Amino acid sequence: MQIRTMENKDLNQILAIEEKSFASPWSREAMEEEIKNPLACYLVLEEQDEVYAYGGMWMILDEAHITNIAVRPQNRGEGWGNFLLYAMLEQAKKSKMNAITLEVRESNNIARRLYEKYGFKECGRRKAYYENREDALIYWNVFREEKK
Ligand SMILES: CC(C)(COP(=O)(O)OP(=O)(O)OC[C@H]1O[C@@H](n2cnc3c(N)ncnc32)[C@H](O)[C@@H]1OP(=O)(O)O)[C@@H](O)C(=O)NCCC(=O)NCCS
């Protein structure tokens, strides 16, 4: 398994995983923009040209914001989410981020457990954030307190 940054050649597979994973999947155009976005960092887990998982974040000033993370359905529960999230946290720390945040559906217990395992703490809520009016929980993981 190799981990590397997302490229245009990955998009067919990534969009197929998006469709199966999210009620409002990202479009090809949005993903193409992310590949060009200098503030975005998308990582892909790939073996023999097969994409197993991907995750992205924006890095703005000293804060990273995870935009999406997904493992292809037939390979969930095999540790790839662990592997990917760990790599994303390492990347954020290497890029001198002080903290990382994300939103997650309140009902997404699997993702919430994954985030909590890596030190994310629930810090807030966005009411009716999703298309079905479900609330988003806001999680933060602070690596370093900002020096005043
Ligand atoms: C959330 C997701 C990325 C996790 O990836 P995964 O490869 O299935 O997870 P892993 O096998 O690496 O497990 C990582 C942790 O997730 C949690 N987890 C995984 N499967 C679980 C299950 N069936 N029940 C409860 N917790 C579970 C556990 O905390 C697990 O840690 P452990 O191995 O120490 O028990 C994956 O399920 C996914 O793509 N879901 C759909 C998209 C999504 O919801 N993304 C998150 C949006 S915020």
The 10s digit of each residue's pLDDT in 76-134 is 999 999 999 999 999 999 999 999 999 999 999 999 999 999 999 999 999 999 999 99
115 noted as active-site residue:
yes
* CB distance 64 to 99 below 8 Å: yes
d(CA 54, ligand 1 centre) in Å:
13
Task: Give the mutation target among 57, 65, 114, 130 for probing the ligand 1 site: most ligand atoms within 8 A of CB.
Answer: 114
Write down the mean pLDDT value for the chain: 96
Q: Which of 43, 54, 76 is the pocket-test mutation for ligand 1 (most atoms within 8 Å of CB)?
A: 76
pTM, two decimal places: 0.96
80 lines ligand 1 (CB under 6 A): yes
78 an active-site residue? no
Q: What span, in angstroms and rounded, lies between the C-alpha atoms of 106 and 41?
A: 25
Residue 72: pLDDT over 80? yes
User: What spacing in Å lies between the alpha carbon of 131 and ligand 1's midpoint?
Assistant: 22
Is it the case that residue 146 has pLDDT exceeding 80? Answer: no
Look at residue 93 in the predicted model and tell me its pLDDT. 97
Residue nearest to atom 20 of ligand 1 (CA): 77
